Chain A
């Protein structure tokens, strides 16, 4: 009982007040046949022992000296002020703002988050956040099905495989069919999703087309044309985006996206072996009543003071129960707060600096590898901050480099068998010139 305040006299006083002889009397209602057998759990630890154990495990991880691994999780600077804000116990140890009068901090920060996500994406309404980008995308597909009253979903296979896996699981629930639109993965191909291929798949049975910008290979998709293909079939365009890239890329609201989703991890959230992260979702106001998850709205009290509340709750499970838009209950409020503080800390200029430096270093790496004769770009279409390159004997060399503390990107053949010897290299603002020199030297040495 590491954290309980009760002394034995406290316990005795409470038992006496209750009128029972001992604590076991309060568990009489557990039927004898199913009372717990003795368990085999470790002994308690004091703080210094807990620290030692957790440090042991943290040290068992080997954080690479140099890493070009992105592919859905990105090593960005988490500004000190962001960690400070997220670390405030008034935010972290509060819960869902059920009592708005004493939750204005959380509520206003979510309203600011929703505003920032709308601004970034060019959309009209954003939710208070989701578990991660993949579940947000799966929920967007279900939302599109509700909006169109259709039961098929088309997804480009250049959408990140993790997103497609989660999408498949979610759609299996209500029996929604998922059809993949093949991207051009041929040698010398663009790496893009061909709008004609999308149009060939889509018909009036499809609720939406899901495409990612930039796509899983870092390549820019023809989103406007993909949106036209979707809309021609009466389907919606679900755009999966990367938030820092929106400093330089046109917002999805201007190329006709109906629903936008994203993994918000790049916005000031550590990678932490996959979570907690935060899913973003934005849409048009006309669709708001079919949106899943929490929404915060502005209103006033009787004295006219502005305040914020959870709103449009009749969509949600605690009221609508089996007719709810989703079973989602919590959001990822603290991670959404991190994103809010991050976007505030970097501002428009900083976000642009992050995006531009990431793009410049991706080009730096690709150019240096090409000139050294070590790698060739796999796809012809322009990319943003991740670049797919072909490296002879890549599987062996990737392992050799990893053992030296250099992670040479993501091995794409594991998810896309046709992309043999293809590595996806990611750069961020933390990618230094010496990182790139080290990658070139290590690949050279592994020939």
Chain B
């Protein structure tokens, strides 16, 4: 399993991609595989504030449910509405079309508390 090199990862299996002041977050392909067929995700509300490592929603598969923990703090500016209709995108394209939310980054220093792809690979293999 390979994880994109330009992302940062949390030990709770979320990823973050930083583009200027905006961070896009999602769950890793490892997490999606572990959960199995994902059937529902509870998305955060636009305008809500996320806190690094705090819960912000849940993701459900047929036979499991898991809390989502934000890898980063900030205000939600956009959510991936497509996931409401097609939660399977989390399984099929975790790092692309399966993104969960975009956040205005509160403190880029928080990225230091996250792993790079190699470290995450080591964690999950």
Judge A-B direct contact (beta carbons within 8 Å).
Answer: yes
- Partner-B contacts on A (CB < 8 A): 289, 312-314, 319-320, 323
Q: What separation, in Å, do the CA atoms of A323 and B62 have in the docked complex?
A: 16
Give the distance in Å from the alpha carbon of A312 to the alpha carbon of B61 in the complex. 9
Main secondary structure of the interface of A (DSSP, over half): helix
Contact with A along B35-54 (1 / 0, CB 8 A): 00001100000000000000
Cβ-defined partner of B40 (8 Å) among A289, A319, A320, A323: A289
Neighbouring A residues of B61 by C-beta, 8 Å: 314
Beyond known contacts A314-B39, A314-B40: 15 more, CB 8 A cutoff: A289-B40, A312-B39, A312-B40, A313-B62, A313-B63, A314-B60, A314-B61, A314-B62, A314-B63, A314-B64, A314-B65, A319-B63, A319-B64, A320-B65, A323-B65
Judged by DSSP, the binding face of B is: strand
Chain B residues with CB under 8 Å of A312's CB are: 39-40
Chain A residues with CB below 8 A from B39, complex form: 312, 314
Q: Least Cβ distance of A53 to chain B in Å? A: 46
Count A-B pairs with CB separation below 8 Å.
Answer: 18
Chain B nearest CB: distance from A42 CB in Å?
45
Bound-state CA distance A314–B61 (Å) is: 7
Residue on B nearest A318 in the bound complex, by CB: B63
Q: Which 6 A-B pairs have the closest CB atoms?
A: A314-B60, A314-B65, A320-B65, A319-B65, A319-B63, A319-B64
A290 vs chain B, min Cβ distance (A): 11
A49 vs chain B, min Cβ distance (A): 48
Q: Using a Cβ–Cβ cut-off of 8 Å, how many residues does chain B contribute to the interface with A?
A: 8
Residues of B within 8 A of A (CB): 39-40, 60-65
Chain A residues with CB below 8 A from B65, complex form: 314, 319-320, 323
Min C-beta distance of A50 to chain B, whole Å = 43
Chain B nearest Cβ from A286, distance in angstroms? 12
A314 to chain B, nearest CB (A): 4
Complex A-B: 14 CB contacts under 8 Å:
A289-B40, A312-B40, A313-B63, A314-B39, A314-B40, A314-B60, A314-B61, A314-B63, A314-B64, A319-B63, A319-B64, A319-B65, A320-B65, A323-B65
Given the complex, which residues of B lie within 8 Å of A313, measured CB to CB? Answer: 62-63
Q: Nearest-CB distance from B32 to chain A (Å)?
A: 15
Chain A residues within 8 Å of B63, by CB: 313-314, 319
Report Cα–Cα, A289/B65, bound state, in Å.
13
A79 to B40, CA, bound (A): 42
How far apart sit A51 and B64, CA to CA, in the bound complex (Å)? Answer: 48
- Closest Cβ–Cβ distance, residue B83 to chain A (whole Å): 14
CA distance A319 to B61 in the complex (A): 10
Report B-chain residues with C-beta under 8 Å of the C-beta of A314: 39-40, 60-65
CA distance A91 to B62 in the complex (A): 26
Measured between alpha carbons, how far is A339 from B72 in the docked complex, in Å? Answer: 52
| Nearest CB of chain A from residue B40's CB, rounded to whole Å | 7
B48 to chain A, nearest CB (A): 14
Q: How far is the CA of A289 from the CA of B64 in the complex (A)?
A: 14
Write out the residue numbers on chain B whose beta carbons fall within 8 Å of the beta carbon of A289.
Answer: 40
Q: With the chains together, A323 CA to B60 CA distance in Å?
A: 13
Report the nearest B residue to A323, measured CB to CB.
Answer: B65
Question: How far does the Cβ of B38 sit from chain A's closest Cβ, in whole Å?
Answer: 10
> Within the complex, what minimum Cβ distance (angstroms) separates B76 from chain A?
18
Q: Which residues of B contact A319 (CB under 8 A)?
A: 63-65
Q: Which residues of B contact A320 (CB under 8 A)?
A: 65
B106 CB, nearest partner CB in chain A, Å = 25
Please give the distance in Å from A215's CB to the nearest CB on chain B: 37
Q: How far is the CB of B37 from chain A (nearest CB, A)?
A: 11
Tell me, in angstroms, the Cα distance from A323 to B65 when the chains sit together: 10
Write out the residue numbers on chain A whose beta carbons fall within 8 Å of the beta carbon of B60: 314
- Chain A: CB-nearest residue to B65: A314
Residue of B nearest to A289 (CB): B40
Whole-angstrom distance between the alpha carbons of A320 and B60 in the complex?
A: 10
> CA A259 – CA B39 in complex, angstroms?
24
* A176 shortest CB reach to chain B, Å: 23
Q: Taking the nearest CB of chain A, how far is it from the CB of B56, in angstroms?
A: 15
Which residue of B39, B63, B64, B65 has the most chain A CB atoms within 10 A of its CB atom?
Answer: B65
| Measured CA separation A320–B67 after assembly (Å) | 11
Residue from A313, A314, A320 having most chain B Cβ neighbours under 10 A = A314
* C-alpha gap A10/B64 in the complex (Å): 43
The closest CB in chain A to the CB of B61 belongs to: A314
A312 and B64 alpha carbons, distance in the complex (Å) = 11
Shortest CB-to-CB span from B81 to chain A, Å, is 15
Instruction: List the B residue with the shortest CB-CB distance to A321.
Output: B65
